[in-house]
Structure 1
């Protein structure tokens, strides 16, 4: 019986990993063009509606566009010559994925300073077991916290490590009925998931 439970747990984790791996297909490539031009190539495995925005250092939106027609590929050239010197963030959003690039504009030139990718984690309940899958693009430490919904008291904590593909399960069957909150914390963000146990 123990062997069967172990096999079932392995299969379940593999399925959840597959669900997480099905996302993460958004790709953004930015190359520096002539002077203050930046060439942007956005791709996805399936036709999608992308959102693109550029924000200045004060977090003001200086450009926003939502692609209405689903596409697999978007090619654009952006001219930053009319913008003041400084850093700008160029963000592409698609469902639960986001790619953020930091661009530095100085004296009529634009340079790509940094790029980060973020995919929201997958949370799911199955027979009082909480399953989590997360693509850790930043390769930094990921923590998981479980809080009692009534008292906000921390009742469980796990260090999920720095692996790229994080898959984790917690058995909640010994907890009392009620509400709980799972919180996954990484360098890319804080993600909360509400749980109700009957």
Structure 2
């Protein structure tokens, strides 16, 4: 019974540690007129961040990388020279992304709901590649491993929300490898040396 209580306590502490380790930035987009909006960012601590706006087809319309850590950021964006259409404003703080869809039209600017995304965790020890990923969009995922000569391993991971896998790489030769987790919208990479 003591062992079960101890394990439960350890698991609860681990969950709290993971939950508090994730950055929780806040981003508000408030239309001021038909073609202008103010973007406000509030971070939980002074951090570096990246802010980008992409068109529906993936074209980069705006990009800013903070030059020094900050708690807040505020800017008025003028959308009058941007074509009508759908855009995504993407705030990245460490491994956390906050995405808001924006629709620009002659009637004005419409802001969608926030979507939070967290980059996958990769780890490698004792010849085991560990991967965890929260697949919020439940996209088809695949994992590919490459060495200097090309693809050496591939796996379809499916569309599950919670991906937690271990891959035994003991059979691979010593050397440098690049691991790529691929979804419809993103690619994540991890380098390892065996």
If the length of structure 2 is used for normalisation, what is the TM-score?
Answer: 0.68
User: Where do 1:78-157 residues align within 5 Å?
Assistant: 78-81=77-80, 83-112=82-111, 116-147=115-146, 149-157=147-155
Conservation of the 8 A alpha-carbon contact between 1:118 and 1:137: yes
Residues 52 and 158 of structure 1, relative CA distance in 2, 3 Å threshold: closer
Q: CA RMSD in A?
A: 3.8
Q: Deviations over 1:131-155 (max 9, x none)?
A: 12223232323322334x2542443
Q: Deviations over 1:151-175 (max 9, x none)?
A: 4244342415421x43322222243
Q: Deviations over 1:15-48 (max 9, x none)?
A: 6996697235233333444433434332333221
Determine the structure 2 residue equivalent to 1:4: none
Determine the structure 1 residue equivalent to 2:24: 25
The offset of 1:125, in angstroms, is 1.1
Determine the structure 2 residue equivalent to 1:184: 181
Aligned residues: 184
In structure 2, C-alpha distance between the alignment counterparts of 1:55 and 1:175, rounded to whole Å: 39
Structure 2 unaligned regions, length at least 5? 1-6
Conservation of the 8 A alpha-carbon contact between 2:41 and 2:74: yes
User: Which moved further from structure 2: 90-99 or 182-191?
Assistant: 90-99
Residues 101 and 22 of structure 1, relative CA distance in 2, 3 Å threshold: same
Conservation of the 8 A alpha-carbon contact between 1:54 and 1:64: yes
Conservation of the 8 A alpha-carbon contact between 1:17 and 1:167: no
Counterpart check, 1:196 vs 2:181: no
Conservation of the 8 A alpha-carbon contact between 1:20 and 1:122: no
Structure 1 unaligned regions, length at least 5? 1-6
Determine the structure 2 residue equivalent to 1:74: 73
Determine the structure 2 residue equivalent to 1:47: 46
Residues 143 and 196 of structure 1, relative CA distance in 2, 3 Å threshold: same
Q: Deviations over 1:38-71 (max 9, x none)?
A: 343323332212233445678364x544444533
The offset of 1:116, in angstroms, is 4.8
